[in-house]
């Protein structure tokens, strides 16, 4: 059964708690999208990374999102886009420091899902 949520727009106000150390990881949090979870990692004092996990029994076929953050060093609000490059099967994760980062503290990063589709 193919489940399609189209160009669904929803603000994910999920941020990592203020970390005592730069290597602190947040717990996995449900995004409200039927089994899509997210985790933020403060990998340095000024660098945030995040990853997605498919907790659904369905394959996540498409995930596109907008990244909004505040760079404290440059004092600039920044926007960019991101995507999952390949489908995620049930239980698979994608992201982290090699894929998704922002030059900001995790508490200032916001993700807006612009397209999500399940197979």
Tokens of 76: 């600039």
CB 87 within 8 A of CB 60: yes
Give residue 22's pLDDT.
36
> What are the tens digits of pLDDT across the range 38-51?
999 999 988 999 99
Which pTM value belongs to this model? 0.76
Please classify residue 32 by burial: count the beta carbons closer than 10 Å to its beta carbon, then call 0-12 exposed, 13-18 middle and 19+ buried.
Answer: exposed
Give residue 76's pLDDT.
81
**Sign of the C-alpha dihedral, residues 88, 93, 97, 103?**
positive
For 106, the 3-state DSSP assignment is: helix
Give residue 24's pLDDT.
63
CATH class of 3-118: mainly beta
Q: CB 8: neighbour CB atoms within 10 A? A: 12
> What are the tens digits of pLDDT across the range 77-107?
889 999 999 999 999 999 998 899 988 888 8
Across the chain, mean pLDDT equals 80
Rounded Cα distance between 85 and 83, Å, is 6
Rounded Cα distance between 75 and 67, Å, is 16
């Amino acid at each position: 059964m193919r489940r399609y949520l189209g160009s669904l727009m929803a603000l994910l106000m999920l941020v990592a708690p203020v970390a005592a150390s730069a290597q602190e990881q947040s717990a996995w949090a449900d995004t409200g999208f039927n089994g899509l979870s997210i985790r933020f990692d403060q990998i340095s004092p000024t660098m945030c990374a995040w990853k997605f996990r498919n907790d659904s029994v369905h394959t996540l076929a498409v995930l596109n999102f907008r990244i909004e953050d505040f760079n404290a060093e440059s004092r600039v609000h920044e926007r960019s886009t991101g995507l999952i490059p390949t489908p995620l099967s049930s239980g698979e994760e994608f992201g982290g420091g090699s894929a998704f980062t922002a030059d900001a503290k995790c508490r200032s990063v916001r993700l807006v899902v612009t397209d999500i589709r399940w197979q």
